[in-house]
Every structure is written in structure tokens, then in C-alpha cells.
């Protein structure tokens, strides 16, 4: 599977995305042909520029007389009448649909009455369709994104001066990881946010890939402290193990009851701990005790540390970083005589039923859990032949 990773350390916009994809090898001529079929009477130029010493491609849309305001249906008609491949049309329409819904919610009006201003201009239409065309021309099967640097300060719009991220951008990125770093201006535009929020399967670290191409799309300004570019990494997915940094929290406890420790384990898992274990240990002065070990995401470390102090009797914690290696895996649903069970399947062929699914079926059906597990394994083996 071919993957595109959007490395948005300096934000993301539509033109940065198109420039990065062309820089990574998307056929410029084929992409322009798709854009010209929109009938927007625009011309297109790709300029080689430098951003803090990084060579990048700057994509320009040179528009003629543009219609000032467009409804969503007008834009969808332009896309539908173009000669773009079906997949490009579907993705571009989905991006604009998502953008329209965000604008409608922000302004408190029905979707049909949304007037697109900046994002409805010819250059933004071409940016979104161009980005979708670029992914298609590179043969991208899945898109992933880093957390987005949205910038800070304010931005001038047709609605006046607005805070960064702009209201539509903030709505589009609800539930997505964002942060602000660098100059006090808008780094992630509504167009860029719509592309990432609609098309990216997930936001986070780079997935395991074998890199085949890289590309850099330039932003308008050249900042003094960092390269103002969007980087794309193109590559084939691999079965390499995913290595991530985790925080390990440990405590030796000799004065908490088993009930208290069991409850603490439940609370920690509910709060986002990746794993929690309790092990019997012999402590100083020959006292029997329990070793509490918690594996956590680095960003959850302080929250889980407070929870340990709150729910157990320990007065101190050992906290250190470790590398966690995870076998690449995916999930499939398997039909069993008792109901559907998700199976975790590793790229090396190993598999295991999802415990919670089997537990729920056992409770609902009255069938022993061990039988549910066995039937799930048997069903998966039969289906995988």
C-alpha cells in the first residue's frame, strides 16, 4: 500500500499541498490538464524557491475575473463537470462538503445558504482539486498526517479580524491534534485543514514505510526561524515494527489492599494507560509488596502520575522513558455462531480475538468465554484459507 504522510510542522494550506505533491513527483502536466477542465479560466505556475535553505515548489494559481461568492452546489457542479478521474472528484467533493459543514456551523446557517468567500475563490477550488489530483497521480492509497501547527495571532478575512485558528479551521480540526509554534500568524488555512481533516486516516507519528519520494511545498513567507514548507513523505507500507517512545511509571507498594490496587488498575486503564501490571515482590525488611508498573504515552504521564498518588498509598514514583516496539497489525471482523468478533491480525500472520468482544458475547449468550475464544479462532482460520 502506498502511503503519503503530511508533515505539517509549518502548517498546511491548499497551495502548499499541491506544491509538495508536484515536488514529490506528481505529473505536473496531467495535474494542470485536470485543473483546466474545471473551466475556471485560470493559469498555473510552479516556481522553485528556497525556504531557509530548503528547495521547495511554490504552486501559483493565476486567476482571471473570479466570481466573488459561490454556494456549495456551484462548486460541486464545477468538479462534477470536469474530466478529473472519479476518485479525484469524490475526494474533492468530500473536502468541500466538510468545509461547507464547518462554515454552516460557525455561522449558524443551513448548509445550502453557505456562501464561500476566500475558500470559494478560483485559487482555492483549484488548490483542493489539485491536491486530490496530486494524491491520485502519485498512486496514494492512504494519507496520514502529523499534528498540525496552526499558528497564532489573528488573520484578516471578509468577516473582519479573527483569531487563529480561524473559526472554520478550528471546527474542521475538532478532535485532531494541533499546536502553535513560530510566528504569530495563520499557518494552517481552512483549505489546508479541510484537506487534512477529510482525507487523512489518522494524525500522529509517521507510520512504518519504505520512503520512495519526498516533496516540499512552499508557503508564501520565508520565516527566519524555520523552513516554511509542508513536507510530504511518499512510501510503501512495510511490516516493520513500529517503535515509539513511552513513559514507564513504577512504584513499590506494601500498604494498599488488593481491592484498592485492583481499582487503581481500572482507573489507570480508563484514563488512557497503554498497560498496567501488578507483580508480587519482596521489599526491604522482608515485607511482601506489589510492584505497580504503568506504560503510558508521554503526554499522559503527568495525568497518570497524579492518579497513582490519588488512588494508592505510594509516596513516590520512578518515571523513565523507554522504547516500545509494536508489531504492525490490523483488525478484521469475523462472524461466529455467537456473534461478530474483531480479530487482531499481525503482518507476520499471528492473530488473536478481541477479548472485550468475546467477553460481551459470553455474558449475552451464557456460553463459556473459552468456547467463544475457540470458536472465534476457528472461524478466522476457516475464512483465511
Q: DSSP string covering 10-42, please? A: TB--HHHHHHHHHHTT--HHHHHHHHHTT---E
Greater confidence (230 vs 72) lies with 230
Q: 84 pLDDT exceeds 90?
A: yes
Class of residue 210 by CB neighbours under 10 A (exposed 0-12, middle 13-18, buried 19+): exposed
The whole-angstrom separation of Cα 191 and Cα 18 is 12
Q: 106 pLDDT exceeds 60?
A: yes
Confidence of residue 120 (pLDDT cuts 50, 70, 90): low
The whole-angstrom separation of Cα 253 and Cα 267 is 17
What pLDDT is stored for residue 245 in this prediction?
Answer: 75
User: Phi and psi dihedrals of 86, rounded to 5?
Assistant: -55, -40
CA of 183: how far to CAs of 9, 10, 11, 15, in Å? 13, 10, 11, 20
What pLDDT is stored for residue 18 in this prediction?
Answer: 98
What pLDDT is stored for residue 222 in this prediction?
Answer: 92
- CA proximity to 313, closest of 378, 371, 259: 259
Which residues on adjacent β-strands are paired with residue 23? none
Number of DSSP helices (H) and strands (E) in the chain, helices first: 11, 18
What pLDDT is stored for residue 117 in this prediction?
Answer: 57
- The whole-model pTM stands at 0.66
Confidence of residue 68 (pLDDT cuts 50, 70, 90): low
The torsion of the CA quartet 56, 62, 66, 70, rounded to 10 degrees, works out to -20
Domains of the chain: 2-237 (no CATH), 242-326 (3.30.70.1380), 329-383 (no CATH)
Say which residues have a Cβ less than 8 Å from residue 164's Cβ, sequence separation at least 6: 150, 151, 152, 153, 154, 155, 180, 184, 185, 186, 187
Condensed to tens digits (0 to 9), the pLDDT of residues 273-283 reads: 999 999 999 99
Say which residues have a Cβ less than 8 Å from residue 342's Cβ, sequence separation at least 6: 331, 332, 333, 334, 353, 354, 357
- CA proximity to 340, closest of 290, 289, 383: 383
Mean per-residue pLDDT of the chain? 90
Measured CA angle at 310 (ends 304, 312), to 5 deg:
95
The whole-angstrom separation of Cα 165 and Cα 174 is 11
Q: How many CB atoms within 10 Å of residue 377?
A: 17
Amino acid at each position: 500500500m502506498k502511503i503519503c504522510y503530511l508533515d505539517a510542522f509549518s502548517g498546511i494550506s491548499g497551495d502548499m499541498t499541491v506544491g509538495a505533491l508536484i515536488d514529490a513527483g506528481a505529473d505536473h502536466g496531467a495535474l494542470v490538464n485536470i485543473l483546466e477542465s474545471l473551466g475556471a479560466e485560470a493559469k498555473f505556475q510552479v516556481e522553485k524557491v528556497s525556504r531557509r535553505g530548503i528547495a521547495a515548489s511554490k504552486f501559483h494559481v493565476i486567476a482571471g475575473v473570479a466570481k466573488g461568492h459561490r454556494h456549495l452546489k456551484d462548486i460541486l457542479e464545477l468538479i462534477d463537470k470536469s474530466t478529473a478521474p472519479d476518485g479525484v472528484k469524490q475526494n474533492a467533493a468530500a473536502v468541500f462538503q466538510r468545509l461547507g459543514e464547518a462554515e454552516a456551523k460557525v455561522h449558524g446557517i443551513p448548509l445550502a445558504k453557505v456562501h464561500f468567500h476566500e475558500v470559494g475563490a478560483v485559487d482555492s477550488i483549484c488548490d483542493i482539486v489539485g491536491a486530490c489530483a496530486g494524491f491520485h497521480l502519485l498512486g496514494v492509497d492512504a494519507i496520514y498526517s502529523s499534528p498540525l501547527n496552526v499558528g497564532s495571532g489573528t488573520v484578516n478575512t471578509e468577516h473582519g479580524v479573527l483569531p487563529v485558528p480561524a473559526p472554520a479551521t478550528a471546527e474542521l480540526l475538532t478532535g485532531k491534534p494541533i499546536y502553535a509554534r513560530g510566528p504569530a500568524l495563520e499557518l494552517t488555512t481552512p483549505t489546508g485543514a479541510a484537506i487534512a481533516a477529510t482525507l487523512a486516516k489518522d494524525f500522529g507519528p509517521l507510520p512504518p514505510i519504505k520512503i520512495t519520494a519526498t516533496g516540499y511545498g512552499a508557503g508564501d513567507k520565508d520565516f527566519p526561524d524555520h523552513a516554511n514548507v509542508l513536507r510530504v513523505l511518499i512510501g510503501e507500507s512495510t511490516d516493520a515494527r513500529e517503535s515509539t517512545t513511552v513513559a514507564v511509571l513504577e512504584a513499590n507498594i506494601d500498604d494498599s489492599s488488593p481491592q484498592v490496587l485492583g481499582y487503581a488498575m481500572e482507573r489507570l486503564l480508563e484514563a488512557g494507560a497503554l498497560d498496567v501490571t501488578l507483580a508480587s515482590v519482596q521489599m526491604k525488611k522482608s515485607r511482601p509488596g506489589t510492584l505497580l508498573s504503568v506504560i503510558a504515552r508521554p503526554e499522559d504521564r503527568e495525568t497518570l502520575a497524579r492518579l497513582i498518588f490519588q488512588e494508592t498509598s505510594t509516596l513516590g514514583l520512578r518515571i523513565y522513558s523507554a522504547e516500545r516496539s509494536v508489531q504492525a497489525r490490523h483488525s478484521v471482523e469475523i462472524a461466529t455462531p455467537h456473534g461478530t468478533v474483531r480479530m487482531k491480525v499481525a503482518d507476520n500472520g499471528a492473530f488473536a480475538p478481541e477479548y472485550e468482544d468475546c467477553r460481551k458475547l459470553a455474558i449475552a449468550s451464557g456460553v463459556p468465554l473459552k468456547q467463544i475464544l475457540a470458536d472465534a479462532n476457528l472461524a478466522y482460520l476457516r475464512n483465511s484459507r
